[in-house]
A = this chain, B = another copy of it.
Amino acid sequence: MRKIGKQQIEDIAVGAAVLGTGGGGDPYIGKLMALQAIEEYGEVTLLDVDEVPDDALVVPSSMMGAPTVMLEKAPSGEEPILAFKNLEDYLGKKVYATFPIEAGGVNSMIPFALAAKLGIPVIDADGMGRAFPELQMVTFYLDGISATPAILADEKGNTTLLSTVDNVWTERIARAVTIQMGGSAMTAMYSMTGKNLRDSGVKNILKLEEEIGRTIRLAKEKNLNPIQELLKQIDGYELFNGKVSDINRKTESGFAKGIATFEGLHSYKGETLQLHFQNEHLLAKTDNRLLCVTPDLIAVLDAETGLPITTEGIRYGSRCIVIGIPCHPKWRTEEGIKAVGPRYFGYDVDYVPVEDLAKKGVLS
């Protein structure tokens, strides 16, 4: 158990955006929401999963929808509370603590904003160890934990409570509701016990995010290369160094989809990288080599500052370093690959671990 204040929030927001692999929402908006809530209500207690009672009701708080929409439609701050209150009324039980459903600029921060306002702790675990675009893409799904009863709430005050036959149906119906709610909604779903979270969640994710943020911040202060420091810390791989030459994006069926093209610089001169995304970066390849593919993590970092860039933040002319990070082992199982591997997203390639690809790539 420890307290999370403003400096920790700053670091966690950066680390969350790295592990968010381009998705999980804008780090700036997320950070502001959390900082403002801590300013007003005080520091938040962070619990280790082992500190949570077995039968405690724990519920992740998150935003669902295309992060691009959130830039124009900022949340009022009341929606997550409305969603939680509705869920508590439905279950007839108080929520003991909240936690992030995924790593990401917004979705790692919303739990802190909500926890500060409600006076409850945050637990150091999530359901992905990264960000993914669909709500059944969580370790909880692999372990048979239901997303429902699932609440969605918007900034106008509309709410829906879903009860479905499986988590894929929850995704379908919730996605349609989210689109009607203006493209993004706040959720209270995947309610579970402390024991469920301990058994199924990805532990110490916030600690890792904080360490990533601190590494980048301290490297800058010490005039070290932040990306090299980061790669050492997280066992990551440099995939490419280049300049954005083309960016093609559209918001489709509630997702921010697209392809960014990078022209190689320095030792990558003459090569071209294609980065495919669907809320998150999902596949990186050159003209003839696959470099990294979901569920492994692909992060785009500003070549100078080392700060992560979200899919909606990729701009023509930006100089970036693209890195790959091994995913949580649960995603490398047969069920994991089926749920979030390249073929699920429509890419006609087999999954190969980034540590194998990074050395030589495979012909694509």
Residues in chain A within 8 A of chain B (CB atoms): 86, 156-165, 169, 172-173, 175-177, 179-181
A81 to chain B, nearest CB (A): 15
The answer for the CA separation of A317 and B163 in the assembled complex, in Å, is: 46
Question: Please, which residues of chain B bring their CB within 8 A of the CB of A180?
Answer: 172-173, 175-176
The answer for the CA separation of A74 and B163 in the assembled complex, in Å, is: 21
The answer for the CA separation of A186 and B180 in the assembled complex, in Å, is: 20
A162-B160 CB under 8 A given contacts A173-B180, A177-B177, A180-B173? yes
Contact assessment for A163 and B160 in the assembled complex, using a CB-CB cutoff below 8 Å: yes
This protein's copies in its complex: 2
A156-B169 CB under 8 A given contacts A161-B161, A163-B86? yes
A78 to chain B, nearest CB (A): 13
The answer for the CA separation of A162 and B152 in the assembled complex, in Å, is: 9
Known: A158-B164, A158-B165, A176-B179. 15 other contacts (CB 8 A): A86-B163, A156-B165, A157-B164, A157-B165, A158-B169, A158-B173, A159-B164, A160-B161, A160-B162, A160-B177, A161-B162, A173-B180, A173-B181, A176-B176, A177-B177
| Chain B residue at minimum C-beta to C-beta distance from A158 | B164
| Chain B residue at minimum C-beta to C-beta distance from A89 | B90
Question: Please, which residues of chain B bring their CB within 8 A of the CB of A173?
Answer: 158, 160, 177, 180-181
19 contacts between A and B (CB under 8 A): A156-B169, A157-B164, A158-B162, A158-B164, A158-B165, A158-B169, A158-B173, A159-B163, A160-B160, A160-B161, A160-B162, A160-B173, A161-B161, A161-B162, A161-B163, A173-B181, A176-B177, A176-B179, A177-B177
The answer for the CA separation of A172 and B160 in the assembled complex, in Å, is: 12
The answer for the CA separation of A161 and B152 in the assembled complex, in Å, is: 10
The answer for the CA separation of A160 and B173 in the assembled complex, in Å, is: 9
The answer for the CA separation of A162 and B159 in the assembled complex, in Å, is: 6
Question: Please, which residues of chain B bring their CB within 8 A of the CB of A163?
Answer: 86, 158-161
The answer for the CA separation of A157 and B165 in the assembled complex, in Å, is: 6
Question: Please, which residues of chain B bring their CB within 8 A of the CB of A158?
Answer: 162-165, 169, 173
The answer for the CA separation of A218 and B156 in the assembled complex, in Å, is: 54
A264 to chain B, nearest CB (A): 43
A284 to chain B, nearest CB (A): 32
The answer for the CA separation of A173 and B181 in the assembled complex, in Å, is: 8
